[in-house]
């Protein structure tokens, strides 16, 4: 299958609006003619409008780092799907390991958010991955299968046409450790197989699966040239424009 790679920058809780604008301007200058990969920038909520304005009319998409599943309501501090679509956001990261770890997000909650994203025509980047102790106890397959099964509950193949999955080995996020290309490719194959079982083979074949564990310019080529890896969800290396640009040009 021919799947256009997606490279998504997750800025996490970094960059003021002024810093976000400066970074977006640098990325736009160097990457506006880049067509081999799709590129999405995911800044903090307060900088979404600024980054959207800076990248307007370009081939660089903009995504949010999280959202609530309800369209509106008394949920102080939350952001709804219509709020995101109203300003032009097209991607949203769901179920990131830091949301699961620090904010107690469950697979069931991720499923609710996933359905909300589909209802509002947002392209969700669904994050799955195992902890270090789970890998050491040979539980990687069990964890990935469970997370995908619960996240995709009542999701149809038609819904999943806009779905992206990011494999994040939790033990590699922000640690400098990285799964070998072979380890990452094996996990991606497991994910694709589970999606085929849960949905259908066509959905699995068309699905873009990103790698998201300490991707850097120096390891990007060996990871992203694996046939099963369709791009990257980039954290720390996306905070510096020069680093991210170099990574995109793997």
138 is in an annotated binding site: no
59 is in an annotated binding site: no
For residues 84 and 62, is the Cβ–Cβ distance under 8 A? no
Burial state string for 157-174 with b = 16 or more CB within 10 A and e = fewer than 16: bebbeebbbbbbbbbbbe
For residues 166 and 94, is the Cβ–Cβ distance under 8 A? no
123 is in an annotated binding site: no
Q: Supply φ then ψ for residue 77, to 5 degrees.
A: 90, -5
10 is in an annotated binding site: yes
57 is in an annotated binding site: no
Instruction: Supply angle C-alpha 139, 145, 148, rounded to 5.
Output: 135
Look up 168 and say whether it is catalytic: yes
Q: Supply φ then ψ for residue 242, to 5 degrees.
A: -65, -40
Determine which one of 96, 105, 120, 134 is catalytic: 96
Pairs from 131-138 (Cβ < 8 Å, separation ≥ 24): 131/170, 131/171, 132/170, 132/171, 135/169, 135/171
171 is in an annotated binding site: no
Determine which one of 68, 120, 168, 188 is catalytic: 168
Look up 133 and say whether it is catalytic: no
CA–CA separation, 21 and 193 (whole Å): 40
Question: Residue 107: which region, alpha, beta or left (left: phi > 0; alpha: psi -120 to 50)?
Answer: alpha
For residues 18 and 243, is the Cβ–Cβ distance under 8 A? no
DSSP strands (E only) in 24-181: 38-42, 60-64, 91-94, 123-128, 164-167
Point out the annotated binding site: 10-12, 174, 214, 235-236
Residues annotated in a binding site for substrate: 10-12, 174, 214, 235-236
- Residues with catalytic function: 96, 168
């Amino acid at each position: 299958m021919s799947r256009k790679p997606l490279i998504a920058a997750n800025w996490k809780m970094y960059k003021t609006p002024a810093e976000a604008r400066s970074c977006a301007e640098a990325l736009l200058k160097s990457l506006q003619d880049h067509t081999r990969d799709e590129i999405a920038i995911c800044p903090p909520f307060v900088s979404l409008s600024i980054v959207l304005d800076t990248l307007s009319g370009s081939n660089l998409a903009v995504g949010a780092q999280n959202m609530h599943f309800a369209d509106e309501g008394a949920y102080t501090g939350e952001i709804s799907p219509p709020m995101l679509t109203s300003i032009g956001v097209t991607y949203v990261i769901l179920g990131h390991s830091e949301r699961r770890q620090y904010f107690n997000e469950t697979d069931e909650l991720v499923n609710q958010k996933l359905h909300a994203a589909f209802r509002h025509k947002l392209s969700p980047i669904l994050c799955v991955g195992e902890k270090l102790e789970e890998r050491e106890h040979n539980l990687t397959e069990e964890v990935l299968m469970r997370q995908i099964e619960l996240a995709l509950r009542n999701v149809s193949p038609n819904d999943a046409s806009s779905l992206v999955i990011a494999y994040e080995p939790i033990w590699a996020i922000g640690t400098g450790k990285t799964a070998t290309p072979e380890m990452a490719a094996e996990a991606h194959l497991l994910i694709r197989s589970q999606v085929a079982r849960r949905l259908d083979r066509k959905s699995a074949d068309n699905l873009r699966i990103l790698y998201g564990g300490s991707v850097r310019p120096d390891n990007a080529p060996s990871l992203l040239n694996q046939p099963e890896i369709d791009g990257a969800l980039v954290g720390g290396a996306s905070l510096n424009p020069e680093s991210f640009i170099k990574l995109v040009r793997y």
